[in-house]
Each structure stands twice: as structure tokens, then as C-alpha cells.
Amino acid sequence: MPIRIIGDTKVDFIGKRKIAFLVSGILVILGLAATVMLSFGKGNLGIQFVGGTMLEGYFEQPIETSAIRSALGSAGFADAEIQQLQGRAQANSFLVRIKSDPAIAKQAGQSVLDALRKAFPGNPFHMDSVHEVGPAVGKTLQSQARWAVLVSLLGILVYITLRFDFRFGVAATIATFHDILAVLAILYLMNVEITILVITALLTLAGYSLTDTVIVYDRIRENLKKYHKKADFVPAINRSINEVLSRTILTSSTVLAVVIALYVAGGPVLRDFAMSLIFGVVIGTYSSWFVASPIYVEWESRNPKRFKA
């Protein structure tokens, strides 16, 4: 006997849409707020976007963050962010971040290194990597990120419209946009550093959350062919979602499994990326049930095309 996690369910997804809209609405508003804040530079944006210098390395002996901070402070880097890094191959690993240093090229990185060496002569500091970004680079990157998002959403709208119809297309695009904003809102509240990798994660989840949405839409399309009375519209939609429930859960689970593996084992570089995707997959699945379909339903019920009473 095959294992079935979800049997024949009869969840009234459409009926619950008011609550869903509320929750989603809050998330979207938060996400929009986060976007606005970020474009004004408020919030934890990576140096790729705002310029600055980032240095990673390790000390041979243990050392207090406060000691590093005062050493850098007297070297003229009073606003440096210092973070002790966990889970690195070397203990006593630290990250030093200085925002928008206009003296790009070897200057800032070298100066920080000198300051650390001078202040702690008995405790050598070894550098693992340095990233120095001038402020002009960030602007280009920001616009590139925006374009990528725009093009993606447009592509999605066009494709879904071609394969289904315009209303499905719009509903799917709204759901995708909702997913991106919702995850961004969560990341912003958690004060996660928004790097180009995080933006990549957001775009990936945009593309991926559609796989769920498409699965639901496909079934809706199939079922709607069989039902022609207006009263059967909402039940048909509900039934569709219920029928594909195990499918959407399972496809999301497999992706969730690998993304969790990435989070746990992938190392510090990919951690934020993986976390964004974890949120993304969960929210993406949720939005396929509670956002994409209900929006379509709302639109249809107010402005029916399919069923004339």
C-alpha cells in the first residue's frame, strides 16, 4: 500500500481567504516598507550595495570584540562594525565592516590591518579575505537587482497569461510579488544583511513558488472544464486545491529538505541565502493555496467571464 500523508481532504481554502488576505496584506505592507527603507539606505544592506570595506580574518589568540573596537577606533575607524564569526575553521574569526569608505583601493583594508597589527603585537592577525567597494558600484548593482525583479515578474505574467489566461496571470504575478515582499519583510525584521545573494534567493523563490501555483492552476483548469454552473465555481476551485494538496506539499518538502541541508552544512557564505529560501518555500506554498487562487476567485466573482448566471 502506498504511503499517503494527505488523504482526501476537504479544506475550504476559499472560505478562509479573508483571514489569509489579512495576514498576507500585513506581510506585503511590511515588505513594501522594507523596500522603501532599503532604497534609502536604512537597514542592513551589504557593502556591495552601499559601498564600504569588509575584512575577514582570524587572530591566533582569543580576543575580546571590545578590544578590537577600541583599537580600530583610535585608528580612525570609530564606526566600524565588528562581529565574531562562529562556525569557521579557525577560532577567533572576526568580520570587520566599514561603511562607504571613499578612499577605495588598498587604503582602508590596509589601514585596518595595520591598526590591528599595531594594537595587538603579541596576537597576530591573519586575513582571509577583503572586499572593498566604492559607492558608485552599489548604485549600478541596485538598479540591476531591480531590473532583474521586474523582468522576472514580467516574464511570469506573460507566460502564465499565455498558458492559462490573463486573470490567472495577474493573480500569479501578484502572488509571486507577495512572496518576495513577505520574505523581504521577515528578513528585514530579523536584520539580516541584504546582499546580492539574498536578492538572488528572493528571485529564485519567485520562480520556484510558481511551480506550486502552476500545479494548482492546472488542476483548476482541468476541473473547471467539467463544471458549468456558477454555484459550482467555488467548490470546484476548493476541490482542485484539495486534490493537489499532497503534490504541492511533497514538491515543497523535497526542496525544503535540500535547502535545510544548505543551511545546516553549507557554511557561512550560503547561510542567509538558505534561510531566505526556507522562508520562501514555506510562504510560496502558502501563497499558492491562500493567495493565488482566492485572488482569481475574487476577480471572477466580481466580474464573471466564465459563468454567466
Partner 1 sequence: MPRGVAWKMGLIVFLILGSFWYLYPTIRLWQLNPAERGEMARNDPKGWIDLQRKAIKLGLDLKGGMHVVLEVDRSKLNPDEAKDAVDRAKEILRNRVDAFGVTEPVIQKQGADRIVVELPGITDVERAQELIGRTAQLEFKLTETPEKAQLLVDRIDKTLEALGGGDTSGISSDTSKSGEKPNEDVYQDLFGKDSGKAKGDTGAALAAKDTGGSVLPPQVPTERPLSSLLDPSRRGTGWMVRRDESPLVKNLLARPEVQKLIPPDLEFAWGTKAQYTGGIEEEQLYLLKKQTEMSGKYLTDAKPSFDQFRKPIVSFQLTREGGRQFARLTGANIGKPLAIILDGRVESAPEIQSRINDRGQITMGTGTSYDEANDLAIVLRAGALPAPVKIIENNVIGPSLGNDSINKGFLASLLGGLAVILIMGIYYQLSGVIADFAVMLNVLFLMAVLAVLHATLTMPGIAGIVLTVGISVDSNVLIFERIREEMRAGKSVKSAIDAGYSRAMVTIIDSHVTTLITALALFMFGTGPIKGFAVTLFWGVAISLFTAVVGTRVVFDIRREYKTLSI
Q: Which of positions 1-30 make contact with partner 1 (CB under 8 A)?
A: 2-3, 5
| CA atoms of 32 and 270, how far apart (whole Å) | 25
- Least gap, CB of 245 to partner 1 (angstroms): 10
Chain centre distance of CA 33: 15
DSSP 8-class letter at 86: P
- Least gap, CB of 11 to partner 1 (angstroms): 18
Nearest to 294 by CA among 271, 86, 78, 286: 286
Contact call for residues 126 and 58 (beta carbons, < 8 A): yes
Q: Does 113 participate in binding partner 1 (rule CB under 8 A)?
A: yes
Question: Based on CB atoms, which residue is closest to partner 1, 70 or 129?
Answer: 129
Q: Does 174 participate in binding partner 1 (rule CB under 8 A)?
A: no
Work out whether strand 93-99 and strand 52-59 pair parallel, antiparallel, or are unpaired.
Answer: antiparallel
Binds partner 1 by CB under 8 A, chosen from 11, 22, 136, 190: 136
Question: Based on CB atoms, which residue is closest to partner 1, 43 or 51?
Answer: 51
3-class secondary structure per residue, 42-68: CCCECHHHHCEEEEEEEECCCCCHHHH
| CA atoms of 153 and 161, how far apart (whole Å) | 12
Binds partner 1 by CB under 8 A, chosen from 39, 129, 228, 305: 129
Work out whether strand 125-133 and strand 81-85 pair parallel, antiparallel, or are unpaired.
Answer: unpaired
Nearest to 113 by CA among 97, 126, 132: 126
Q: Does 39 participate in binding partner 1 (rule CB under 8 A)?
A: no
Q: Does 63 participate in binding partner 1 (rule CB under 8 A)?
A: no
Over the window 181 to 220, marking each residue x when it contacts partner 1 by CB under 8 A and - when it does not, the resulting string is ---------------xx--x--xx-xxx-xxx-xx--x--
- Least gap, CB of 137 to partner 1 (angstroms): 5
**Extended beta strands in the chain, E state:** 52-59, 81-85, 93-99, 125-133
Using CB under 8 A as the binding rule, the residues of this chain from 288 to 307 that contact partner 1 are none
- Least gap, CB of 91 to partner 1 (angstroms): 14
Binds partner 1 by CB under 8 A, chosen from 9, 65, 74, 83: 74
Question: Based on CB atoms, which residue is closest to partner 1, 187 or 210?
Answer: 210
Question: Based on CB atoms, which residue is closest to partner 1, 3 or 309?
Answer: 3
| CA atoms of 178 and 203, how far apart (whole Å) | 12
Over the window 244 to 283, marking each residue x when it contacts partner 1 by CB under 8 A and - when it does not, the resulting string is x-xx--xx-xxxxxxxxxx-xxxx-xx--xx--x------
For the record, the C-alpha cell of 12 comes out as 475550504
